[in-house]
Amino acid sequence: MCNVCNISKILLIVGGLNWGLIGIGGFINKDLNVVHMVLGSWPSVEWIVYVLVGVAAVVKLFGAKCPCKKMA
């Protein structure tokens, strides 16, 4: 796999786990937003992470193939 595919996969895993923890935190009245815990002091970087997770999800949603497979 190429770096783009690996980064996309990591972003989707981070985003999915973060949303799962936010949901669990809602049931137990705790803020379990890990992205905010790690990057909360840098709000711009936090927002960039959220945007990148969203872009990775949209790319996967529309079934975009890894461009590196064409090069091989």
Q: Give the pLDDT confidence of 5-51 residue by residue, as tens digits.
A: 788 889 999 999 999 999 999 999 999 999 999 998 999 999 999 99
29 phi/psi in degrees, rounded to 5: 55, 45
Q: Can you tell me whether residue 7 is helix, strand or coil?
A: helix
* Alpha helix segments (H runs only) across 1-72: 3-28, 34-39, 43-61, 68-71
User: Could you tell me if 31 and 38 are in contact, meaning their C-beta atoms sit under 8 angstroms apart?
Assistant: no
pLDDT at residue 62 is higher than 60: yes
41 phi/psi in degrees, rounded to 5: -80, -10
User: Which pLDDT value is given to residue 58?
Assistant: 84
67 — pLDDT class (breaks 50, 70, 90)? low
